[in-house]
Amino acid sequence: MVLAAGTDHGGTDRPHPEGPRRAGTGAAGADTAQSPDAQAGIAQAGISQAGIAQTGTAQTGTAQIRNGQPRNAQIRNAQTRNAQTRTAEALGARLPPLLVAAERVAATVAQGVHGRRRVGQGDSFWQFRPFLPGDTPNRVDWRQSAKSDRAYVRETEWEAAQTVCLWCDASPGMRWRSRGASVDKHQRAALLTLALASLLLRGGERVCLIGEAMRPVSGHSGLDRLAEALERAGGSGLPPPAKLPRQSRVVLLGDFLGPLSEVEATVQRLAGVPVSGHLVQVLDPAEASLPYHGRVRFQGLEPDREQLVPRVESIRAAYVERLEAHQRGLAAIATAAGFGFTIHRTDHGPEFALLALYSALAA
């Protein structure tokens, strides 16, 4: 279960002692007066007020019509556009820091990435190997072969594009952090999601978000669209049913503290598509170790009852044991479906988790 913010010794904080659980426009209709110069200009052009009304602009009482549209409607449309602009600006103000952080993490990890390391069609050189029976002469690299008394074949690295579907848990229980972490669980999961997407797009893969009505994107320009969709995403603690490309890869990031039976049903549904993938459990350090002492009141961010524990240290060992059993259950579910499983704590750097995750996908 997730923890509610608070203090030790009678304050509030969170892992649940029972073990891991899901935790400037004028008034509408105003008259518009024409200046004498404007009236004179109209008269000189031989256009009467009636003629203006016939061509699409008329005044009737306090309502003005322009191009066949009442001014009230024009004002409402303008207000709607202004509201949409403010929403877009607010979204843009939040996205750059996340995008910058994701790009920074991806750039750091990219230095240690060595591609798919499989022979196949592509332009990237992988290795030279000796010419073998069955190879055609047009595969011989004559420049390399001239350096020795053997014939060599030039092999390229496999570069077939693949679709990778990502999901980031945005439930209320993810939006919490303890004093031992600098970011909450959702912030870290979103960072890993975007950084992984950046690496995949750089490698020529197609990427989409599960649960979002958007086609897979490709190329580095698609990262902005993914960031915007990730900002809008909501939902529960497990990915919703969605139509995924066959033989694609999926990556699910969340705390997965809900019942194991629900997690298993979701993973089996995905494996039946069929797809393969990876689970990343993102935990706050306080959820992993229950570091509190004394009398603490635990409150959930989701519909969980609060509970007062007189001495937290007396239940710490049982809590840690139950959490580890839950994680063993998650690992078994992932293994049975052909998925990988990783645990990441928010007090650890994101680079190592991202490198391990990308390497697992590239294997």
Same domain for 256 and 129: no
Report the C-alpha gap between 39 and 270 in whole angstroms: 71
- Report if residue 234 sits inside a domain: yes
pLDDT score, position 315: 96
pLDDT score, position 129: 82
Same domain for 222 and 151: no
pLDDT score, position 161: 57
Cβ-proximal residues to 316 (8 Å cutoff; 6+ apart), any chain = 289, 290
Same domain for 174 and 278: yes
Q: Give residue 357's pLDDT band: very low, low, confident or very high (50, 70, 90).
A: confident
pLDDT score, position 239: 92
- Report if residue 179 sits inside a domain: yes
Q: Give residue 153's pLDDT band: very low, low, confident or very high (50, 70, 90).
A: confident
Same domain for 279 and 130: no
For the cut 50, the answer to whether the pLDDT of residue 240 exceeds it is yes
pLDDT score, position 28: 37
For the cut 80, the answer to whether the pLDDT of residue 275 exceeds it is yes
pLDDT score, position 348: 94
Question: Among 257-261, 331-335, 352-356, which is the least confidently predicted range?
Answer: 352-356
Same domain for 257 and 185: yes
pLDDT score, position 160: 46
pLDDT score, position 4: 46
For the cut 80, the answer to whether the pLDDT of residue 183 exceeds it is yes
Q: What is the pLDDT of residues 294-318, one digit of tens each?
A: 999 998 877 667 889 999 999 999 9
User: Quick check: 237 and 255 in contact, CB under 8 A?
Assistant: yes
pLDDT score, position 163: 87
Short-list 125, 116, 119, 118, CA closest to 143 = 125
- Report if residue 41 sits inside a domain: no
CA angle 211, 217, 221 (to 5 degrees): 125
Phi first, then psi, for residue 291 (nearest 5°) are -85, 15
- Report if residue 91 sits inside a domain: no
pLDDT score, position 363: 66
In the chain, where do the E strands start and end?
12-13, 57-60, 63-66, 69-70, 125-130, 152-156, 163-168, 206-209, 249-254, 276-283, 296-298, 307-309, 340-345
Task: Tell me the whole-structure pTM to 2 decimals.
Answer: 0.63
Phi first, then psi, for residue 72 (nearest 5°) are -55, -45
Give the number of other Cβ atoms within 10 Å of residue 223's Cβ: 22
DSSP annotation string for 296-350: EEE--SSS---EEES-GGGTHHHHHHHHHHHHHHHHHHHHHTT-EEEEEETTS-H
Compute the Cα dihedral for 93, 94, 95, 98 and give only its sign: positive
Same domain for 257 and 149: no
State how many domains the chain has: 2
pLDDT score, position 229: 87
pLDDT score, position 82: 66
Question: Among 13-27, 61-75, 141-155, 234-248, which is the least confidently predicted range?
Answer: 13-27
- Report if residue 152 sits inside a domain: yes
Same domain for 286 and 143: no
Q: Is 127 helix (H, G, I), strand (E, B) or coil?
A: strand
Phi first, then psi, for residue 8 (nearest 5°) are -75, 170
How much of the chain, in percent, has pLDDT values that exceed 90?
34
For the cut 50, the answer to whether the pLDDT of residue 113 exceeds it is no
Report the C-alpha gap between 74 and 331 in whole angstroms: 58
- Report if residue 51 sits inside a domain: no
pLDDT score, position 18: 41
Same domain for 300 and 237: yes
Report the C-alpha gap between 341 and 321 in whole angstroms: 19
Mean pLDDT across the stretch 179-192? 94
Report the C-alpha gap between 229 and 212 in whole angstroms: 7
Q: What is the pLDDT of residues 4-19, one digit of tens each?
A: 444 444 334 444 434 4
Compute the Cα dihedral for 75, 77, 79, 81 and give only its sign: negative
Same domain for 164 and 148: no
Pick from 107, 140, 156: which residue ends a domain?
156
- Give per-residue burial for 15-33: e unless 16+ CB within 10 Å, then b: bbbebbbbbeeeebeeeee
Between 85 and 140, name the one with better pLDDT: 140
- Report if residue 334 sits inside a domain: yes
User: Quick check: 230 and 209 in contact, CB under 8 A?
Assistant: yes
- N- to C-terminal Cα separation, the chain: 33
Q: What is the pLDDT of residues 17-74, one digit of tens each?
A: 344 444 343 333 333 444 444 444 434 434 333 333 333 333 433 334 444 556 676 6
For the cut 50, the answer to whether the pLDDT of residue 170 exceeds it is yes
Cβ-proximal residues to 248 (8 Å cutoff; 6+ apart), any chain = 162, 163, 164, 165, 273, 275
Question: Among 11-20, 153-162, 187-196, 293-302, which is the least confidently predicted range?
Answer: 11-20
Cβ-proximal residues to 44 (8 Å cutoff; 6+ apart), any chain = none
Cβ-proximal residues to 224 (8 Å cutoff; 6+ apart), any chain = 95, 99
User: Quick check: 153 and 125 in contact, CB under 8 A?
Assistant: no
pLDDT score, position 188: 95
How are strands ordered across the β-sheet holding 57-60? 57-60, 63-66, 69-70
Same domain for 217 and 356: yes
189 is in which domain, residue-wise?
Answer: 12-21+160-362
Phi first, then psi, for residue 153 (nearest 5°) are -105, 135
User: Quick check: 174 and 255 in contact, CB under 8 A?
Assistant: yes
Report the C-alpha gap between 294 and 13 in whole angstroms: 12
Same domain for 193 and 148: no
Same domain for 137 and 245: no
pLDDT score, position 213: 72
CATH number reported for the structural domain that contains residue 306 in this entry: 3.40.50
- Report if residue 143 sits inside a domain: yes
